[in-house]
Amino acid sequence: MVKSGNTVSVHYKGTLNDGTVFDSSEGREPLQFEAGSGMVIKGFDEGILGMQVGEKKNIHIAVEDAYGPVNEQMLFKFDRSEIPGDIPLEVGGTLNMHNGEQAIPVIIREVTESAVLMDANHPLAGQELNFELELVAIS
């Protein structure tokens, strides 16, 4: 039975409430992590506790236990004239902003004639998540 501190291997499929698959271990090695260590989102970590090897389980994770709500302070509006013309600006596309130290991935949320709205939140922020889990091993 999984306890905090165990190293576990888990196959999973993650979906949004509308059924869209956002991640899956299908065709790959199972995800391996230390239970209770914060290596995965809180709801996933808590969802595997108590599972037995071979057990399958479906869990639903609230926004607060996943990637959190959308943080309005992570939305940035830029004057379109500040963005080089050779950079493609498509809604849903991703770019890297630089803060002088590191690249920060952003998603283009809106493009108008005069401005571009970019979002530096995690792509799954504000979403409830669902996982189909299968515990493969405890070590």
Pick the CATH number of 72-119 from 3.40.50.170, 2.40.10.330, 3.30.1490.270, 1.10.357.10: 2.40.10.330
pLDDT of residue 98: 84
pLDDT of residue 99: 79
Classify domain 7-68+124-138 by CATH architecture. Roll (3.10)
Label each residue of the chain as H, E or C: CCCCCCEEEEEEEEEECCCCEEEECCCCCCEEEECCCCCCCHHHHHHHCCCCCCCEEEEEECHHHCCCCCCHHHEEEEEHHHCCCCCCCCCCCEEEEECCCCEEEEEEEEECCCEEEEECCCCCCCCCEEEEEEEEEEC
List pLDDT tens digits, range 9-39.
Answer: 999 999 999 999 999 999 999 999 999 999 9
Would you say the pTM of this structure is higher than 0.75?
Answer: yes
* Residue 6 clears pLDDT 90, i.e. is over it: yes
pLDDT of residue 12: 98
Region 111-132: mean pLDDT is 96
List pLDDT tens digits, range 70-117.
Answer: 999 999 999 999 998 899 899 999 999 887 889 989 999 999 999 999
Q: What residues does CATH 2.40.10.330 cover in the chain?
A: 72-119
Q: What residues does CATH 3.10.50.40 cover in the chain?
A: 7-68+124-138
